[in-house]
Amino acid sequence: MLGRSALFSVAIWIAFVGVLRIAVVPPESCGSPNRDAIAGAAVAAEGWLQRNQGLDGRYVYIYDHDTDTISSEYNEVRHAGVTMALYQAAGRFQDADALGAGDDGLAWMNENLIRQDGWAALAPGGGRAKLGASALMLVAVAERRLATADPQHDELMRELGRFIVALQRGDDGFYVAWLPAERAPQLEGTSRFFPGEAFWALALLHEAFPGEGWDGPARLAADFLTTRRDEVEDVSFPPLADQWTAYGLAEMVEWGLDDHHVAYARRLAERFGFLIRMEAQRQGSALGTLLRGGEIRAAATGTWVEGMAALWRLASVDERLADLRPEIKERLACAGGILAEQQVSGEESANYAEPGLVDGAWFIGGETRMDDQQHAFSGLLYTVDALDDRIQREPDAPMTTDASP
């Protein structure tokens, strides 16, 4: 028989475990973590990106389904990102409509280029030319080249690459922008994510034009990002959850990564994994939502999935990270499942004033932003790759087209 003191101890432990269950380990939920649901969500997201483009090539930036209003704000960095995603869809799905939409988006960027000293930069209205905008424009054009094998924009790629190299600092990081009025880089301020975007763009440029020396600045950028960026940017809990750097490292893996690149990639996978596990706890119960805070943007979850998928590709090639493959795949399925479940379905969208602006989108507080769909689409596309054990990121074969922007 248990004595009273023993029963008291057991009661205390039950209460303690109960508190732990509620506060530390609430149940985790991964939504619909199956391949077909995730692939379907990617296709629906791509549909939203294609549908919601204006005649000038710009996309719907923010839409609020509660007020049925479209914001007049715009962001050229995210515009370049959406165009990139459309080219990814074009190549992978052999989708001429996605190619056409991407080309319209590229035409808008071409109309907003500034050129100087042999380089080109995306600078709407001739204003400040953000590094990230030109970097993602270069990524977009590189994706178009992978999708179509069409060389018509090769010189534009080199011009954008020269702009990125012109903004590379002495410490191998990057100035945040170019100020056309001053004909000088912006010395004040930094961006946490632009350097990763620039790195990936340079890596893709080297892949497109090997032998032209783009790998040099790409490697310098990789060293900066993997060893110094978090300190320079004063990141409180390093490493910064930067999917762009993960993309760049995955691109670089065939050139041979140094040990510090691999160590960083491991820490990055750990960070994305932790964030996805916490997100799964948020999804698991109302109490989890309460304890872990409110919903987050699909753009945020999408970037974790993009980063994790890039690291899966990297781990699939570099044996030093081979031990991470199953865990990364598990987290990818979980995060992909969460995104698939949160997405507004075609059936649900019929209840809204503008179903075409709702179907395939993710909303938070009644609002969706174009990069919610962009990051989620790219992340889901590459999650399906991981679930299918498809290591190659590029399309199997270029699509045939004579489309031009």
Partner 1 sequence: MNEFSLAALGLFAAVAPAGALPAFALRARNADAVQRTGLAALIGLIAFALLAGTAALGDPFLDWLDISPENFQLAAAIVMLPLALRLLWSGESMTLPREEVGDPPWRVWLTPLTVPLVAGPASLVAALSYGTRFGIEPTLGAAAFVLALTALAFAAAPQLRRSLGALGISALGRLSGVLLVVVAIELLVDGVQSV
Binding site for partner 1 (CB under 8 A): 2-3, 5-6, 9, 13, 16-17, 20-21, 24-25, 27-29, 267, 269-270, 272-274, 277, 280-281, 284, 324, 327-328, 331
Query: Which residues touch 259 (CB under 8 Å, ≥6 apart)?
Result: 320
- DSSP letters spanning 242-306: -HHHHHHHHHHGGG---HHHHHHHHHHHHHHHHHHHHHHHHHH-HHHHHHH-S---HHHHHHHHH
| Residue reference for tokens 């839409």 | 63
Least distance between partner 1 and beta carbon 371 (Å): 25
Q: Nearest-CA neighbor of 168 among 247, 224, 210? A: 224
CB 328, min distance to partner 1, A: 6
Residue among 100 and 284 whose Cβ is closer to partner 1: 284
Give me the least distance between CB of 237 and partner 1, in Å please.
10
β-bridge partners, 289:
none
Cα 14 from Cα 394, distance rounded (Å): 53
Rounded to a whole number of angstroms, the minimum distance from the CB of residue 287 to partner 1 is 13
Q: Which two tokens stand for residue 136?
A: 């993602």
Is the Cβ of residue 74 or residue 274 nearer to partner 1 in the bound state?
274
CB of 28 to partner 1, least distance (A): 5
Residue closer to partner 1 (CB basis): 261 or 331 = 331
Is 162:128 a contact under the CB 8 Å cutoff?
no
Helix 76-93 to helix 370-387 angle (10° resolution) is: 30
Residue 149: count of CB within 10 angstroms of its CB: 14
The arrangement of strands across the sheet holding 367-369 comes to 69-70, 62-64, 367-369
